[in-house]
Structure 1
Amino acid sequence: MCLLLLSFTPSSPFQSGVSSSSGEGTCELPPSKLHPAKPPRATPGTFPDKKKQQQQQKKKKQEPRRHAGLPSPWQEPREKATHLRPSCPSSRGQDSQLGLPPLWEVGTWKESQPSRSLPHRFCSSASFQDLGVASECAMLPSWCLVGLLVAYASGKKLWDVPTSQVDQNGPVKLHWEPQCQYQLRHLQDGARISALLPPRLDGHWVSTGCEVRPGPEFLTRSYMFFPNRLFKAYQFYYRDPACQDPTYSLVIKGKIRLRQASWITRGATEADYHLHKVGIVFHSQRAMWETVARINQSSGEHCSEFLPAGRTWAPGALYELLSAKAGRDCTSGLGFAMHELSLVRVEKYQPPLFLQQNQGNGEVEELYLGDIHTEWSERLHYRPTGYQRPLQNAMHHIHPCPACGIVYRADEHHPPLLPEKPELPMLLTGRWVSSRCEVRPAVLFLTRYFIFHGHNRTWEGYYHHYSDPLCKQPTFTVYALGHYTQGAPSFIVRGGTELVFKVTHARVTPMDQITVTMLNSSDFGSCGEAGLWHIGEEMDVTHTNGCAALGIRLPHMEYELFRIEHDAKDRSLLYIGERPTDGSSPNTPSKRPTSYQSPLLQCGGPSAALAKLSKSNFLRRLSDDVGSGAAKTLPQVSLLAFLSIQLVRWD
């Protein structure tokens, strides 16, 4: 479609064959074709002079074309008609002539500014006859037609105008905006996340990958909630972090009742649950012996003979661990509890526009259940105040998700075996940012942004704290920096890497009045300069050895656990060790984490090794594409060269 953005003189009796008054990219027929001119009406008491009208019509037919205000393509137009000629400016400065912002400033078009010039990319349509303006388009210089042939040979429609994304969901990414800042800004767009209150649990919810619980425990989950408040849950446990070597599966049946909104964790709903039955299925003889030994030693007397020590493993056999009717409970030896059901939150999540390919309507539903205490001895009595890794609705999950379908089809006799993932080296160099608004125990909502410098093993971290579960109401920001040691493989958590981090400097920026009041009322010398804190103003707290009011101590050392993975979209994810539930710091080797927090997404600065690998893969794909498409583009290139020569001769 050719966008001929021409203007005309209203007082002229001859108007251009194309007009554009709205600037929305539509071509209109000349007014003379849409509304034929009517003969002048006679004034009262007079009659039209027919002879005079015939002479005027004859004169019009004999009048040269240039008198109509339509210049000949071989002649320079009159000075008054210069604005009627469609111009095809060079590529230099064409965006400013259009009245549009440069493409590197804003990713959307400003359609409110009309234009009087026609860039060459808008002069590349061959279907002018459909608009009834063949004579006007014949005036276009031949080099504009060459541009049309270039578009045809390249296979890309240069006349495709970018559509405005103002009405679409999610924020529009500015072309000059770094990906990390865009990701943080996107997390604060509350319009894309909606929390259902009270939450609707009905449906089938599955794990999106292999999960790691404190211990460590590797598992996947598949929970089904029914309209009558009954539920059936599967928990599949594994020996490896890839969830490919299953040990046993648990079948849990019970009933859940939602109570009220949580007074502790904003956005969550408290619930009561009652277990009816819990059964276990072993998947190997070794798993059976190890699990039975734990049950017989840790459970009560009525479970001491849960299974004879020398019992032979029977594939597919289901053994009852808990029965409400019989009053028997042998689950304590496994550290099993379903306290996660006592804290519930359901979110509808709209992924970013650039991630919605092949996702249908793009809507994702996530189920957040209560977190698991990091101390094994506290697990059976702990009431959660945070969340685990969310489950996703089997009917509304993110795409692609190879694990979702596998977990959805699994049962206690056929545990899911997830696809194998390669072990990636611990290459931290680059920038990593939170993929969602994170929730920690003791009601902490935050996002994280880290920068790692591999050449000298230094790091920078931005911790943005908020008072709401959507991370829209900031309270304070902490900037910390320090250095870290070279990692070593973990012997406790398979697939993890152990590192030691040291924090040497920190700066704090209060973002609300409550935080400012708290910092100004702190003890002298305990947190920067007391009485000088202001909203939005950063202050260094290194000289006061941190900030006691916010729990920051300097210098500070932490023993960490890291892991790097690739998701289904081949993006790099960084898992950092989960913080202790009691709010303390992992400042000793014995407190080193055995599970992970929500993953961070790499948003910039990949390591040299990964960049080299990506470049080699890109060049390989490019050579394949060129080899396969060379034969297809050869006729088009030949046709382009031939027609270009002919057009040059024609001019």
Structure 2
Amino acid sequence: MEVQSLGLVITVSFLVLCGLASAVPSGNQLDSHIVRALSESECGAQMRRLQGNEGVSAIVPPRPKGEWVSMRCEVRPGPEFILRRYKFHSDSSFSLHQFFYTDDQCRHPAYSLKIRGTIALGQQSWVVSGATEAEYHVSKVTMVVYDETFGRTLRSQVNRTCPGFFSSSNDVLELYQRYVIVDWEQESTFTECTEAMDFAMHELQIVRQEFHSEFNTGIAKFVSWEELFLGDIHTDRKQRMYYRPRAYQPPLRKYQANCSFCQLIHNTEEFNPPLLPARTEYQVSLRSEWVSTRCEVRKIHFVIRHLVFHNNYTWEGYFFYFRDPMCQHPVYSIYVKGAHSDGTMSEIVTGGTEFEFVTSQMWVTPKNSEEVVKFNKNDDDCGAAGSWRLNQPQEVTGTGGCSVIGITLPHTESELMRMEQGRDGKALLFNRERPTDGDLSLEKPTSYQSPLRHCAGVNPLIDITVTYENNEENSGTRLRTCYALQTLVWCLWICIYLLRH
């Protein structure tokens, strides 16, 4: 009787404990999420470095004299795959080479443009904080075609807009022959037919130059380099010729003899386009944690991102917004949760994978007194009006998002992603460039924004499958454990009972 009572007590105790464990509330744990995001992890350390812009200083006014090159095969809206080699001279003139490719690895050249002209730097930009405005003049543009299929398409496309511009009797442009697209250098001759090619150099309208320095553990010394940021390209190609930049393209790096990637592009020219070595193609694996690689510019603010992906197709995002290009003066932060689809290879952008992302929950935290006032003036369409407090997060799911910052919930958007290995060996995750006009519902994205770096969790570059903890998985694990313990207790009780009888 005593043994039976003991077995019953143990069994009930385990069931009670298991029940309590599985009943632990999993509701709004925002505080713990933010603590984890800012914890002493590699992700948190990287965000703190970005918030202080450790090792980064702006060069004001910019001094662009010298040679600047792309640091990867860049993907422009369209899509267009491009490498840039820009030279700025001490007399304010420039000679710019743009090499376009048919593939996302920049191994199969399509055509190139050589652009000559002058640039004059002006005042600090009122549109993009930290940038310098500039005026430019293009005097001559020449083109060389390398790909026969592209040459045939381009000739037909340009001649529809500018009849007879390419007067060759052949239906394809001659390969490795120089064609003049714009010529203002000859007073007696005017040639221009750029609209059919969506050609514009408005990227020269804003300029930012940065000096970077960091300690390289591999060689045990500090290394430094310079980066040049030029204006972004409108995500709608039809608007490209009329768009004034409000953000940046990927930065160009100043040529250094000890930069191996720079050497691949250095001294190439229109009859000798650069060919990048083949790189490993990685399947996009949405797992682990990722953090920004730099203080990223948006239309009005600057942002640092931290994204967390789980194995059950759910995700979390932390977005910290700032008013300055060094990410030192916070404005507000948002925390979002949602789900995403499985990925499918893009039929538009080679090397890209398309996803559907749904954002279903959101919390907003004002980070300065001005933002508190602004949020408190809302008409109950951004949390509860009048209830906002400094550094106090408030959920805005119930009000359908937050009109103050222009986000409605729930919302679905198409994503374009790709993954590659960075030069430091860590995985980089690229996701879609934000639409220039802000409308996420338009055509599918065809270009990327600044990459995120892998900062926690299993390395996605190797084929290892793990199960991330989440509320549903934890609950299931607890339940299975409880059943196992209950079975073990009953077995022990039966054994003792049989021994005694």
TM-score (norm 1): 0.63
- Report deviation, 1:402: 4.4
Residue-by-residue CA offset, 1:124-154 (whole Å, 9 max, x unaligned): xxxxxxxxxxxxxxxxxxxxxxxxxxxxxxx
What is the RMSD of the two structures over their aligned residues, measured on CA atoms? 1.8
Give the structure 1 partner of residue 488 of structure 2.
none
CA separation in 2, counterparts of 1:511 and 1:246? 48
Residue-by-residue CA offset, 1:73-125 (whole Å, 9 max, x unaligned): xxxxxxxxxxxxxxxxxxxxxxxxxxxxxxxxxxxxxxxxxxxxxxxxxxxxx
> Is it true that 1:438 corresponds to 2:296 in the alignment?
yes
- Report deviation, 1:361: 4.3
CA separation in 1, counterparts of 2:250 and 2:217? 22
What is the identity, as a one-letter code, of the residue corresponding to 1:434?
S
- Report deviation, 1:425: 1.1
> Is it true that 1:537 corresponds to 2:392 in the alignment?
yes
TM alignment of 1:579-590, pairs within 5 A? 579-584=434-439, 586-587=440-441, 590=442
CA separation in 2, counterparts of 1:363 and 1:407? 20
CA separation in 2, counterparts of 1:510 and 1:203? 43
Segments of structure 1 that go 5 or more residues without pairing to the other structure are 1-175, 614-651
Question: Match for 2:183 among 323, 333, 344?
Answer: 323
Give the structure 1 partner of residue 92 of structure 2.
229
TM alignment of 1:371-410, pairs within 5 A? 371-395=232-256, 402-410=260-268
TM alignment of 1:620-631, pairs within 5 A? none
> Is it true that 1:265 corresponds to 2:128 in the alignment?
yes
Residue-by-residue CA offset, 1:412-437 (whole Å, 9 max, x unaligned): 11111111112111211100000000
- Report deviation, 1:447: 0.8
Confirm or deny: 8 A CA contact 2:320 2:334 kept in the other structure: yes
What is the identity, as a one-letter code, of the residue corresponding to 1:410?
T
> Is it true that 1:606 corresponds to 2:458 in the alignment?
yes
Residue-by-residue CA offset, 1:365-385 (whole Å, 9 max, x unaligned): 000000000011110010101
Confirm or deny: 8 A CA contact 1:356 1:362 kept in the other structure: no
- Report deviation, 1:607: 5.4
Give the structure 1 partner of residue 487 of structure 2.
none
CA distance 1:500–1:312, shift in 2 (3 Å): closer
Give the structure 1 partner of residue 327 of structure 2.
471
CA separation in 2, counterparts of 1:279 and 1:376? 21
Give the structure 1 partner of residue 166 of structure 2.
306
- Report deviation, 1:362: 1.0
CA separation in 1, counterparts of 2:180 and 2:244? 26
CA separation in 2, counterparts of 1:609 and 1:234? 34
Residue-by-residue CA offset, 1:623-643 (whole Å, 9 max, x unaligned): xxxxxxxxxxxxxxxxxxxxx
Give the structure 1 partner of residue 417 of structure 2.
562
Paired-residue identity, %: 41
Aligned residues: 424
CA distance 1:609–1:338, shift in 2 (3 Å): closer
What is the identity, as a one-letter code, of the residue corresponding to 1:469?
P
What is the identity, as a one-letter code, of the residue corresponding to 2:182?
L
Give the structure 2 partner of residue 426 of structure 1.
284
Does the residue aligned with 2:462 lie in a helix, a strand or coil?
A: helix
Question: Match for 2:338 among 482, 505, 526?
Answer: 482
Question: Match for 1:519 among 375, 380, 405?
Answer: 375
CA distance 1:496–1:191, shift in 2 (3 Å): closer
- Report deviation, 1:276: 0.9
Does the residue aligned with 2:242 lie in a helix, a strand or coil?
A: coil
What is the identity, as a one-letter code, of the residue corresponding to 2:177?
A
Higher relative contact order (CA 8 A, sep 6+): 2
- Report deviation, 1:360: 6.4
What is the identity, as a one-letter code, of the residue corresponding to 2:237?
W
Confirm or deny: 8 A CA contact 2:155 2:173 kept in the other structure: no
Question: Match for 2:213 among 330, 350, 358?
Answer: 350
Question: Match for 1:244 among 107, 112, 120?
Answer: 107
What is the identity, as a one-letter code, of the residue corresponding to 2:404?
A
- Report deviation, 1:305: 3.0
CA separation in 1, counterparts of 2:436 and 2:172? 40
CA separation in 2, counterparts of 1:329 and 1:463? 44
What is the identity, as a one-letter code, of the residue corresponding to 2:443?
K
TM-score (norm 2): 0.82
Relative to its length, the structure with more strand (as a share) is: 2
- Report deviation, 1:519: 0.2
CA separation in 2, counterparts of 1:195 and 1:359? 25
Confirm or deny: 8 A CA contact 1:292 1:309 kept in the other structure: no
